[in-house]
């Protein structure tokens, strides 16, 4: 069996400029969904309930702050303007993956045998928008007929159409000699080969939403067959335009409200965008190339659903891909502790995938495997989705941590009942001891394509951990430039599993945020609230938490104080309007418990009273979410050691549980 080593990774997804940031977001369950920015799509133009040309989706996970450095990549202004941004995002991330593998700028690559496989389906929305310029003759004829029908004279029509043509074409670049190549999907891989002077072949893989994982599987096959010596594989997707959002809405695939994955109430997905790339070599060649394996690809399998539905997932076809992957790996799916699934949150898709994975594992001994999907955090990035899951799984193996399952509050019926083969994880947990850590990654796409890749962890040295920590810190402080080359030495495992840093990230997740403001007077508070409202209208769920933390740090002890509890940007906007209503009326105080809004005026050191619950209050012997969120809570409950499954109504259990909750709350207040 030929094992393939993952020796480099890079990505740019919503809220994540690197694999390290993506992993931190996975542990902290930071969700990147925000109201769709109007500069990307004016939702008012596509009302979901009015005819076939609308979409009901209101949120997406979008890239923020990305700007291609064309000077660094020596790209002329004309070339830059002619090509869809998907080309430039893929080129930048490809460069980051090569640098991560130890080939900065492509130096030291085995260029003759280096191939590029990029998953992409529709280039990007910007190319499709640019085609509107070339449709002007049709638009002109339609408008001219309408004007003539209303009696407008030829000369007046001509003047109006000339002005309309100039305004219509202004947003779109004028076609040039590079326009065709810059608007095609199949040249994305070729552009990477061109820039880095690679000669092993470069092509684009289109398997719809399985494209990027299909690119990885094809790259592994080419490496195993000896056709190439190094492969850069992944996917890119920058498509959030009406063609996709209206189409997915008509298919019923988009989520109504919150995106829930493997949840009983799943209604579909929220769209996302981004790019991920991995560098692959044969395990036997890694040392000679000076590469450090991050994980090993032990098996890969591809199938199609045959006469199954063209757009409807089929468990039978997925099981065939699984069988092929594990036959190549030489072991069964029962030895896999974590599955990074396709997981789109659709009722049919989630049910089919859970059925396929459960049947594949059969009656495997031991605890059920954990299942999750990164889409719950960054949305469905379509052609770039599979490689996002692959990067997440490699990072999990690298850290020795099975990550918590995001976006699942009420698990799917397939995850319940006696002896389920799969489960969701409420918290991070170490991989099982005494066995090789393994993860399976799945991706499916329109047309009935199924892909599955099997990963196995490799030992991590203390030196590797220090190097990766330094690199991640550099990415955070320097704005996400190309990562430094990784040290090329490996030995046995260093610190592994739930480290203090991992625990801190796991504890940071919460379902609502408390935003605090203070001011010298009511007028200053009004200005602060209006400013927050203007900025917060497009906050992602993760940015809402960032804003809460930033506001808390800026508190100055002013006598006018306000607080708002919010879960989403929309909820924040509505509750800030409630607060503004009070302030504009000149009020200095107000409380709306149902809406979670507070306004008050007082001295710098207000008196605080504590009300302790008594008999009859809800009792939670295990501490619940508060223990997972706050170390102070966890410490108290660990000392008390109440039975987690105790009867909360029984006085012998309820009274100690209520007292423990009070003591834990006091410990938390002292810590704050």
Q: Report in angstroms the alpha-carbon separations of 452 from 188, 221, 319.
A: 24, 13, 10
| Of 234, 224, 284, nearest in space to 98 by CA | 234
Length of the chain: 672
H-helix or E-strand spanning residue 10: strand 4-12
For residues 199, 204, 210 and 216, what is the CA-based torsion angle, rounded to 10 degrees? 0
Active-site position among 11, 87, 275, 380? 380
- Asked if 220 is an active-site residue, the reply is no
Residues 6+ apart with CB under 8 A from 34: 59, 60, 61, 62, 538, 539, 540, 541, 543, 569
Query: Among 87, 342, 412, 620, which one carries the catalytic annotation?
Result: 342
Judge whether 380 counts as a catalytic residue. yes
Tell me which of 193, 209, 275, 627 is the catalytic residue.
Answer: 209
Angle between helices 522-536 and 541-553 (to 10 degrees): 150
Instruction: Determine whether 412 is an active site residue.
Output: no
Residue the block writes with tokens 């107000």? 590
Bridge partners of 254, per DSSP, are: 269
Spatial distance between the Cα atoms of 634 and 68, rounded to a whole number of angstroms: 45
DSSP string, 280-341: EEEHHHHTTTT---SEEEEEEEEEE-TTS-SSS--HHHHHHHHHHHHHHHTS-GGG--EEE-
Q: Which residues contact 432 (CB under 8 A, 6 or more apart)?
A: 337, 366, 367
| Radius of gyration from C-alpha coordinates of the chain | 27
CA gap 170, 332 in Å, rounded = 58
Could you give the 3-state DSSP secondary structure of residue 487?
coil
User: Where in the sequence numbering do the catalytic residues fall?
Assistant: 209, 342, 380
């Amino acid at each position: 069996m030929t094992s393939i080593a993952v020796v480099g990774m890079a990505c740019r997804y919503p809220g994540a400029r690197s694999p390290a940031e993506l992993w931190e977001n996975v542990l902290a369950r930071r969700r990147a969904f925000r109201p769709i920015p109007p500069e990307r799509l004016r939702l008012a133009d596509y009302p979901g309930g009015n005819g076939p040309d609308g979409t009901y989706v209101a949120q997406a996970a979008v890239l923020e702050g990305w700007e291609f450095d064309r000077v660094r990549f020596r790209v002329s202004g004309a070339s830059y303007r002619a090509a869809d941004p998907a080309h430039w995002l893929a080129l930048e991330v490809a460069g980051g993956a090569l640098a991560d593998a130890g080939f900065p700028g492509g130096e030291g690559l085995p260029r003759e045998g280096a191939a590029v496989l990029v998953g992409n389906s529709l280039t990007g929305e910007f190319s499709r928008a640019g085609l509107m310029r070339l449709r002007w003759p049709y638009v002109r004829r339609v408008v001219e007929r309408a004007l003539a029908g209303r009696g407008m004279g030829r000369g007046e029509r001509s003047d109006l159409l000339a002005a309309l043509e100039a305004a219509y074409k202004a947003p779109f670049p004028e076609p040039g000699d590079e326009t065709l190549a810059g608007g095609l999907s199949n040249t994305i891989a070729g552009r990477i080969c061109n820039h880095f002077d690679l000669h092993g072949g470069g092509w684009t893989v289109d398997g719809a939403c399985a494209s990027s994982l299909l690119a990885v599987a094809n790259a592994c096959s080419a490496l195993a067959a000896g056709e190439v010596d190094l492969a850069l594989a992944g996917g890119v997707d920058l498509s959030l335009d009406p063609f996709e959002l209206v189409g997915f809405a008509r298919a019923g695939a988009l989520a109504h409200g919150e995106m829930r994955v493997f949840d009983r109430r799943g209604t579909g997905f929220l769209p996302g965008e981004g790019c991920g790339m991995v560098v692959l070599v044969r395990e036997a060649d890694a040392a000679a190339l000076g590469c450090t394996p991050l994980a090993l690809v032990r098996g890969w399998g591809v199938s199609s659903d045959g006469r199954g539905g063209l757009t409807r997932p089929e468990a039978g076809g997925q099981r065939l891909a699984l069988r092929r992957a594990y036959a190549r790996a030489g072991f069964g799916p029962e030895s896999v502790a974590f599955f990074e699934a396709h997981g789109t949150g659709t009722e049919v898709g989630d049910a089919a995938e859970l059925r396929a994975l459960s049947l594949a594992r059969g009656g495997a001994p031991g605890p059920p495997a954990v299942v999750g999907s990164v889409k719950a955090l960054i949305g469905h990035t379509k052609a770039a989705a599979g490689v996002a899951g692959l990067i997440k799984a490699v990072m999990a193996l690298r850290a020795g941590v099975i990550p918590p399952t995001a976006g699942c509050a009420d698990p799917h019926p397939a995850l319940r009942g006696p002896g389920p083969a799969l489960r969701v994880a409420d918290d991070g947990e170490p991989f099982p001891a005494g066995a090789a850590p393994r993860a399976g990654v799945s991706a499916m796409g329109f047309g009935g394509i199924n892909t599955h890749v099997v990963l196995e962890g490799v030992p991590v040295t203390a030196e590797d951990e220090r190097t990766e920590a330094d690199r991640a810190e550099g990415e955070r402080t320097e704005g996400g430039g190309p990562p430094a080359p990784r040290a090329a030495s490996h030995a046995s495992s260093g610190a592994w599993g739930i480290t203090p840093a991992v625990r801190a990230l796991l504890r940071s997740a919460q379902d609502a945020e408390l935003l605090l403001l203070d001011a010298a007077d009511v007028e200053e508070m009004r200005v602060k609230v209006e400013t927050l409202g203007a900025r917060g209208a497009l906050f992602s769920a993760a940015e809402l938490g960032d804003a809460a933390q930033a506001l808390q740090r800026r508190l100055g002890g002013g006598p006018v104080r306000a607080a708002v509890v919010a879960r989403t940007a929309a909820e924040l906007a509505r509750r800030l309007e409630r607060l503004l209503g009070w302030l504009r009326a000149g009020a200095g105080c107000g409380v709306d418990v149902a809406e979670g809004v507070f306004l008050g005026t007082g001295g710098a050191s207000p008196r605080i009273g504590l009300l302790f619950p008594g008999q009859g209050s809800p009792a939670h012997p295990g501490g619940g979410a508060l223990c997972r969120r706050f170390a102070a809570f966890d410490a108290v409950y660990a000392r008390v050691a109440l039975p987690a499954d105790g009867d909360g109504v029984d006085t012998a259990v309820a009274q100690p549980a209520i007292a423990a909750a009070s003591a834990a709350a006091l410990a938390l207040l002292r810590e704050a």
